Amino acid sequence: DAGITQSPRHKVTETGTPVTLRCHQTENHRYMYWYRQDPGHGLRLIHYSYGVKDTDKGEVSDGYSVSRSKTEDFLLTLESATSSQTSVYFCAISDGGGYNEQFFGPGTRLTVL
Amino acid sequence: DQQVKQNSPSLSVQEGRISILNCDYTNSMFDYFLWYKKYPAEGPTFLISISSIKDKNEDGRFTVFLNKSAKHLSLHIVPSQPGDSAVYFCAANFGNEKLTFGTGTRLTIIP
């Protein structure tokens, strides 16, 4: 299994508070991704990174920011959490290439009250 | 606009029979297609893939078929086993760094 961890695994927070989720990899993969999974929507890309300090938006990036200061760490920040951001968040990594097979972390369940 | 669609949210199959999961896509420029499997409280795991130059790829009990003219792919699992009960996502790729996922199909194998 790819070495990828997420922290925290569960979090309950209140509307308006900032939240940061961390993804850590030990595979030295170039690409890192943040997805959210919601019923009826599958996996939707929030942001991704193609190198240290290089990031780009996905299809549902509003309300989220990311940072990657080291190859192994990719942070997702909700500056002011809203109830619509209650979801399960997955980090993924890949080496790119044609198929771009991605390896996923175990997920973080976030509840915004 | 959903470019990758899985129109069946759920599917129940008897153990030992064939499971067929379907996926449709709208963009003919997709080059690669992947299937992922997800158990509750875990991240998705890669299952099998196929490139647009092929129409079939097989790996043990799992076979993926691609029909480019219909923009349709399917995953066949035979024989189905209880451990196959999971949510299955299809995904598509232009040959770049991003995947586009479908909404998933929950497969339940009945013992």
pLDDT tens-place string over residues B37-76: 999 999 999 999 999 999 999 999 999 999 999 999 999 9
Alpha-carbon distance A6 to A23, whole Å?
5
Question: pLDDT category, A98, cuts 50, 70, 90?
Answer: confident
Residue B24 forms contact with A (CB below 8 Å):
no
Question: pLDDT category, B82, cuts 50, 70, 90?
Answer: very high
Buried b (16+ CB within 10 A) or exposed e, A42-53: bbbbbbbbeeee
The answer to whether the CB atoms of A50 and B42 lie below 8 A apart is no
Share of chain B above pLDDT 90, in %: 94
From the list A102, A106, A107, the residue facing B99 with the nearest CB is A102
SS3 A84: helix
Alpha-carbon distance A61 to B7, whole Å?
25
Instruction: Give yes or no for a contact between B20 and B34, defined as CB atoms under 8 angstroms apart.
Output: no
From chain B, pick out residues whose CB is under 8 angstroms from the CB of A107: 41-43
For residue A12 the two structure tokens come to 């309950």
Question: pLDDT category, B7, cuts 50, 70, 90?
Answer: very high
From the list A40, A100, A103, the residue facing B97 with the nearest CB is A100
The answer to whether the CB atoms of A99 and B93 lie below 8 A apart is yes
Question: pLDDT category, A40, cuts 50, 70, 90?
Answer: confident
